[in-house]
Every structure is written in structure tokens, then in C-alpha cells.
Amino acid sequence: MGYLEISDLPAYAPEANVTGKEAFYIARASALIDTHCHRGIGVSTYTERMDLTSGRSHLTYLPVVSLTSARARYDTSDNPVYSSGVTDWEDVDTDDIDINLTTGVFILPCVTGSISLALTSMDLFNTPYNEAEIVYTAGYATIPENVKIACGLIITNMSIRMNPMAVSESMPNGLRTSYRDSSFITPEIATLLSKYVAKPFR
């Protein structure tokens, strides 16, 4: 998706010379942002499978908007009552999952449905799941201001600088200019985007 509209360019990229190619520059800058952040900033659907510790883990992409579906299973290899192995996947009601939408930390309910009440004396009734697969939506319905600013800066950089790997370039006015960075994602832009970079916990 594009993080700016063509009508946004006078405000976010006033020094860029992209007349007639506005859509191309916006798409290119937005793709660079997605590559840098290892994600799309807008709302998307993700599927993640993860190991659990005490029935809990983290989702990678934030902020979480909603959980679509969940399933879980648990390893019985250390339990003398069962033969060694991993149980089948069990659907988990997303309403029963305790989740912090901002941090992505979630806790699944304990296993109850597939364990006989007769085994509760062996402390099996509240066995925690230790593997989960979560389908969820995450991202920003409204593009954050810092992402728009970063997109505008990238567009400006691209409109001025033809080759991001060049140490220096000739400018249209006959002068040469030197660069400190070998990427359109400068340290300033990286700082603007730092909050939105996906940081997997696995």
C-alpha cells in the first residue's frame, strides 16, 4: 500500500521533483518502508505458530487489532499417563484468550476438554498448552504521522539522488554532491520508523 496520497506530496515532500511520476515514487518509497520494517504498516492478516511457556507467548506484528482463530496442542512425552508424542490440534475460543493488544502478549486457557476428570488427582486437569497457531489482524488503520514523514523524505531523496550506493553524484546544475549514507533509508528516516519495525520473539 502507499503511505502517501498524491495530494499529500506538497506537505510531506515539498522539495521533491516527481511531477508526472507521483504514484511511482510513492509506491517505491512505501515498498522501501515495508522492507525496512519487515512488514506492512497498514492492517493485515497474519498466521503465526509458536511455542508457549506456561501457556503464554507474544505475537510479532503490532498493534493487534483482533484474533481471528486459534488452535493449540501440548506435548505428552513427559507425562507417564500418555504414550509419548504430541496431541492433535484443538480449536481454542479466541474469547477465552487473554491478550494485550498493544504488546501482543497473550495467555491461552489451560487444557480441559480432552482430559478425563478422573485424572485430576494427577494434576493433569490444568495442563497448559505448549504450542499454538494464531490467526490475527494487526497494523494501523490510520497511517502514523512518522511513517508519512519518512515516506516524504524518501521520495525527496529519490527525486534528487539517482544512485543510493554512490559516494557522490553530479547534479543538474553542474555541481557535485557527496553523501554519507549508502541507502535511501538514512539514520533520520530509520529513527522515524524504529517504532514500526517488526521484532520477532522467535
CA-CA distance, 95 to 91, in Å (whole number)? 12
CA-CA distance, 53 to 78, in Å (whole number)? 15
**Model confidence pLDDT, tens digit, residues 94-107:** 999 999 999 999 99
Instruction: Please name the residues in contact with 174: beta carbons below 8 A apart, sequence gap of 6 or more.
Output: none
Predicted confidence at residue 54, as pLDDT, reads 85
Q: Per the structure block, which three cell numbers stand in for 159?
A: 527525486
Predicted confidence at residue 201, as pLDDT, reads 65
CA-CA distance, 199 to 74, in Å (whole number)? 26
Local structure of residue 75 (DSSP, 8 states): B
Predicted confidence at residue 116, as pLDDT, reads 38
Predicted confidence at residue 110, as pLDDT, reads 78
Cα 59 to the chain's mean position, in Å? 9
**Model confidence pLDDT, tens digit, residues 117-156:** 333 333 344 567 889 999 999 999 999 999 999 999 999 9
**Model confidence pLDDT, tens digit, residues 166-198:** 545 455 555 544 444 557 898 999 999 999 999
Q: What are phi and psi of 158, to 5 degrees?
A: -65, -35
- What 3-state class would DSSP assign to 51? strand
Local structure of residue 48 (DSSP, 8 states): E
8 Å CB contact between 38 and 53: no
Predicted confidence at residue 16, as pLDDT, reads 94
* Number of helical H runs and strand E runs in the chain: 4, 9
Provide the residue ranges of all domains of the chain, joining segments of one domain with +: 6-41+144-196, 44-138
Residue 34 above 90 pLDDT? yes
pLDDT band per the 50, 70, 90 thresholds, residue 20: very high
Least confident of 54-63, 158-167, 193-202: 158-167
Q: What are phi and psi of 98, to 5 degrees?
A: -90, 115
pLDDT band per the 50, 70, 90 thresholds, residue 84: low
Query: What is the average pLDDT value for the chain, to the nearest integer?
Result: 82
Predicted confidence at residue 58, as pLDDT, reads 93
Instruction: Please name the residues in contact with 164: beta carbons below 8 A apart, sequence gap of 6 or more.
Output: 157, 181, 182, 183, 184
